[in-house]
Homo-oligomer: A and B are copies of this chain.
Amino acid sequence: MYFGACYYPEHWPEERWETDAEMMKAAGFNIVRLAEFAWSKIERYEGTFDFSWLDRIISLLGNQGIKVILGTPSATPPKWLMDQHNEIYMRDMYGHVRGFGNRRHYCYSSDIYQTYVDIIVDKMARHYAGNPNVVAWQTDNEFGCNDTTRCYCDNCLSKFQAWLKRKYTEIDSLNDTYGTVFWSQIYNSFEEVVLPAFTVFPLHNPSLVLDYRRFASDSVIDFQKKQIDIIRALAPHQSITHNMMGAFNEIDCYDLSADLDIASWDNYPNLMFTKEVNPALAAMQHDMTRGLKQHNFWVMEHQSGQPGGNIMFPTPKPQELRRWTYQSIAHGADGILYFRWRGCLFGAEQYWHGILNHDGKPGRKYREVQEVGNELARISAIIEGSVNKAKVAIVRSYDNEWVFEIQPHVMHYSYMEHFTRYYQYFYDKNIQVDIISPDFNFSEYSLVVLPNYIMATDELVEKVNAYVRLGGNVIFDFRAGAKDWNNRMEPLTLPGKFAELLGLTVEEYGVLNKGESRKVAFGGVEGSFTAETWFDVIKTEQAEVLATFDEDYFAGCPVVTKNRYGQGHAFYIGSDLEPALMELTLDEVCKVAETEASHGISAPKGIELVSRNKAGQAYIFVINHTVLSQTIQLHRSFEELLGESVLQGEVVIEGNGVLILAGAKEQV
């Protein structure tokens, strides 16, 4: 396991470096990330490269047994470079230059910029390929961060046109697909096609907007690929990763990760403004990242102090850092790098706090990190090689999420919030979940959830049908099958190509705006529930009805259905169910799909249970996300790794506390 921090020696006097390295060693560090924003330090003048300072700190860290991940510095081209090539800057949809002074001030489509990046990556890779202290590379930094995926510059316009030409070959193929006959937008050549930039009214052709989002995502992937090719050719033994951003959706991270050796992400649970932090959101993003390569991952930036640009976020309370760290590991993190070693005295992120405050003295956060370091020194050999397993998968489709961003249907509607409703249920029940691409294999799972699966390919329809036919279980919900993969409506009665699988037709539908809901009756359960966001007016064919609307002109119509199909079952949910109704519904689904856990632990709300497995044995992380002591029930005897004790029966776990229980068989 890697344990360390992001470190910026270039921000501090060289006299301090030794102290830092010793303090890191004392905290149990074995890794730091360096140099991802150091371009103008390395190449202050064009063509003059200075790695000497970087060599010195790497060597000094090496002396303390600390390895290095090097960042390629392409996120921050120096000013001398930008002054030569104004065309590198991104443009917003009005044509405004997005100028110098922050970071990520470049467009992925700039060939000129690519040549500069090639050179510096090549220089760095050559210089460090043979350095045994350098174990890995991070490409760039947080691709797409701060709205930098999508650009409206002239380079993007012509590259988008070329991308479209590759996809459609003939302009009339594009015209037919987009339906440009609508509003007289027929294009006579690819050179006529526009970016979805500023226009009279912000309502572009939805197929074009979707293609533009795909193009923008592809541009980032291409940009990264060139760096990877250079490094891999020169330093094939060093791993390559990129620090992604969890639920961030502007780039298709399945594709971005395909070129990487390992996925990483930046985990800031306290980045929110709200007073209540929901630990399910961090858990979900860990699972998303693990799902990218269906493999363990690193947390490249792990919150230490309070984050903040001009505004500061909440300060982590005592033992919060430790708790988040173990949650990360529980969900599959094999590397933890805190961001950052020490608060910086200057620059735009002065207030983004680190393990050490600006004064550089070891304080509460340092001591807490050191505590974790000591624990990991004892347990990491045991944990290493263990993996998470799940019976339930939720399909995250970037393309479908984009469709709902382009056309939210309902004011303020969010695909990701809808997605999270499902995740939250499984999280609350401590049922392990994989978050997967629609392209991944479904056959390993008892249950596959496909939220808001509005665009469907024939392949996916066939795959789902085959999966259910052989005993799998699926959940679809409203808007399923409404569109083809190019964001055109299907000329079919809904749920379109899923109608046979689901055994129903949707006769009508409509939105329920914020604050609106309709009553729902759940078969056999007394009382009335509510559903919101949307209503489908469903007519069942073969499907069994689990819940019905109890209000409005569609009172009595089904809202939740279950259809036997081959050996399996296909569920359909025609609205957004309130939590209690969602629980009833998914309890029923889980009963059918047999997804319950078997670890023999009972725990109250606020306690998260997650298992990593190795050699048929489970290591169950028990995490108390509350600030109060909680009591759990162990129905068998466990070895607890952190406290090195044996536990059974009623066990008290203190606020923010963590247990790692060994002794149960593999858990999925």
A residues adjacent to B (C-beta < 8 A):
8, 10-11, 37-41, 44-45, 73, 76-80, 83, 90, 94-105, 146-148, 177-188, 192, 194, 196-208, 273, 275, 306, 308-315, 317-318, 343-351, 357-361, 363-364, 406-411, 488-494, 507-511, 513, 516, 552-553
A496: nearest residue on chain B (CB-CB)?
A: B359
Residues of B within 8 A of A104 (CB): 200-201
Contact B553 A489 (CB under 8 A): no
Known: A38-B184, A41-B181, A182-B348. 8 other contacts (CB 8 A): A37-B183, A96-B198, A98-B200, A103-B200, A205-B347, A273-B411, A310-B408, A317-B552
Residues of B within 8 A of A179 (CB): 11, 344-347
Residues of B within 8 A of A349 (CB): 182, 203
Taking a contact as CB atoms closer than 8 A, the residue among B196, B200, B491 that contacts A105 in the complex is B200
A95 to B275, CA, bound (A): 39
A80 to B360, CA, bound (A): 60
Taking a contact as CB atoms closer than 8 A, the residue among B96, B493, B552 that contacts A94 in the complex is B96
Residues of B within 8 A of A183 (CB): 37, 76, 102-103, 347-348
Contact B492 A102 (CB under 8 A): no
Closest beta carbon of chain B to A386's beta carbon, Å: 33
Residues of B within 8 A of A407 (CB): 309-311, 350-351
- Most chain B beta carbons < 10 A, residue from A73, A104, A510: A510
Contact B148 A200 (CB under 8 A): yes
A40 to B90, CA, bound (A): 32
Contact B181 A361 (CB under 8 A): no
Taking a contact as CB atoms closer than 8 A, the residue among B188, B198, B205 that contacts A44 in the complex is B188
Contact B80 A192 (CB under 8 A): yes
Taking a contact as CB atoms closer than 8 A, the residue among B73, B310, B317, B408 that contacts A184 in the complex is B73
Q: A77-B184, A83-B192, A184-B76 are in contact. Are A511 and B314 (CB under 8 A)?
A: yes
A359: nearest residue on chain B (CB-CB)?
A: B493
Taking a contact as CB atoms closer than 8 A, the residue among B184, B357, B509 that contacts A41 in the complex is B184
Contact B37 A186 (CB under 8 A): no
Closest beta carbon of chain B to A194's beta carbon, Å: 5
Contact B315 A509 (CB under 8 A): yes
* Top 10 A-B residue pairs of the complex, sorted by shortest distance between their CB atoms: A179-B346, A182-B347, A315-B510, A76-B184, A146-B201, A40-B186, A40-B184, A310-B407, A345-B489, A39-B184
A112 to B494, CA, bound (A): 47
A494 to B363, CA, bound (A): 13
Contact B186 A312 (CB under 8 A): no
A318 to B553, CA, bound (A): 8
Closest beta carbon of chain B to A415's beta carbon, Å: 13
A512: nearest residue on chain B (CB-CB)?
A: B314
Closest beta carbon of chain B to A10's beta carbon, Å: 5
Closest beta carbon of chain B to A657's beta carbon, Å: 15
Taking a contact as CB atoms closer than 8 A, the residue among B38, B44, B96, B361 that contacts A95 in the complex is B96
Q: A76-B184, A493-B361 are in contact. Are A346 and B178 (CB under 8 A)?
A: yes
Contact A207 B346 (CB under 8 A): yes
Q: What number of copies of this chain does the assembly contain? A: 3
Contact B97 A198 (CB under 8 A): yes
Contact B199 A101 (CB under 8 A): yes
Taking a contact as CB atoms closer than 8 A, the residue among B96, B312, B364, B411 that contacts A409 in the complex is B312
Residues of B within 8 A of A200 (CB): 90, 98, 102-105, 146-148
A176: nearest residue on chain B (CB-CB)?
A: B346
Q: A96-B94, A179-B344, A346-B205 are in contact. Are A79 and B489 (CB under 8 A)?
A: no
A310 to B184, CA, bound (A): 19
A504 to B342, CA, bound (A): 23
A141: nearest residue on chain B (CB-CB)?
A: B183
Residues of B within 8 A of A552 (CB): 317
Contact A359 B492 (CB under 8 A): yes
Contact B314 A510 (CB under 8 A): yes
- Most chain B beta carbons < 10 A, residue from A349, A350, A494: A350
Closest beta carbon of chain B to A609's beta carbon, Å: 26
Contact A147 B185 (CB under 8 A): no
- Most chain B beta carbons < 10 A, residue from A95, A104, A186, A364: A186
Closest beta carbon of chain B to A95's beta carbon, Å: 7
- Most chain B beta carbons < 10 A, residue from A78, A207, A317, A364: A78
Q: A83-B192, A181-B11 are in contact. Are A102 and B201 (CB under 8 A)?
A: yes
Taking a contact as CB atoms closer than 8 A, the residue among B273, B347, B489 that contacts A358 in the complex is B489
Contact B37 A188 (CB under 8 A): no
A98: nearest residue on chain B (CB-CB)?
A: B200
Closest beta carbon of chain B to A362's beta carbon, Å: 12
A305 to B297, CA, bound (A): 49
A347 to B183, CA, bound (A): 8
- Most chain B beta carbons < 10 A, residue from A44, A199, A406: A199
A38 to B185, CA, bound (A): 9
Residues of B within 8 A of A345 (CB): 179, 488-491
Residues of B within 8 A of A79 (CB): 185-188, 192, 194
Taking a contact as CB atoms closer than 8 A, the residue among B187, B311, B408, B508 that contacts A411 in the complex is B311
Closest beta carbon of chain B to A483's beta carbon, Å: 9
Taking a contact as CB atoms closer than 8 A, the residue among B11, B94, B182, B360 that contacts A344 in the complex is B182
Q: List 30 A-B contacts (CB under 8 A).
A: A11-B181, A37-B182, A40-B184, A41-B186, A44-B186, A73-B184, A76-B184, A79-B186, A79-B192, A79-B194, A90-B200, A94-B94, A98-B199, A101-B196, A101-B204, A102-B200, A103-B184, A103-B200, A147-B201, A177-B346, A182-B347, A203-B349, A205-B348, A275-B513, A314-B511, A318-B553, A343-B489, A358-B489, A359-B493, A364-B508
